[in-house]
Amino acid sequence: MSPLEQTATATVDTALYSEVQNFYGHQMRLLDEAAVDDWANTFTEDGEFAADAHPEPSRGRTAIASGARQATSQLAAKGIQRRHWLGMLDVTGNSDGTIQARTYALILETPQGGKPSTQLSCTCDDLLVREAGRLLVRHRRVHRDDLPRS
């Protein structure tokens, strides 16, 4: 049995599934609406954000906030509203209490007075942990479908 098939047979924690969806709905809106410090606080203090389009991962909330601040400033200057859509969520609870959450991600951009366009299609692999009852991202890895897999 392949690892992918194994996951399919595992029991799904359906309450956790909805909680992760709600977390993403909340988290990505923080980024899209430029609440960059609140966004960074959805990662653990030592959280890591890796993307194959970036030379190095961002490590820690300060770095994650700083990267988001730069990106959102540039979009605001151009009058572009960006929206991150995560979907097709596949959740697996690990035995150590951490949570593996895999999604598809689309990045759409709408300029003032213009039409929306889909800029990127990606996969997003998260390791989530719970701290004081709250879900947080400990590690995120984003892969763009237009780039070769490393």
| β-strand pairing of 58-59 with 43-51 | antiparallel
Long-range contacts of 32-35 (CB under 8 A, 24+ apart): 32/81, 32/82, 32/83, 32/84, 34/72, 34/76
Q: From the list 59, 104, 125, 129, which residue makes contact with a second copy (rule: CB under 8 A)?
A: 104
| 96 touches a second copy (CB under 8 A) | no
Which residue's CB is nearer to a second copy, number 66 or number 123? 123
Which residue's CB is nearer to a second copy, number 73 or number 111? 111
Beta bridge partners of 93: 99
The region of 34-42, 47-55, 57-65, 70-78 touching a second copy under the rule CB under 8 A is: 34-42
The region of 46-54, 58-66, 69-77, 78-86 touching a second copy under the rule CB under 8 A is: 78-86
Least distance (Å) between residue 58 CB and a second copy: 20
CA distance 93 to 103: 15
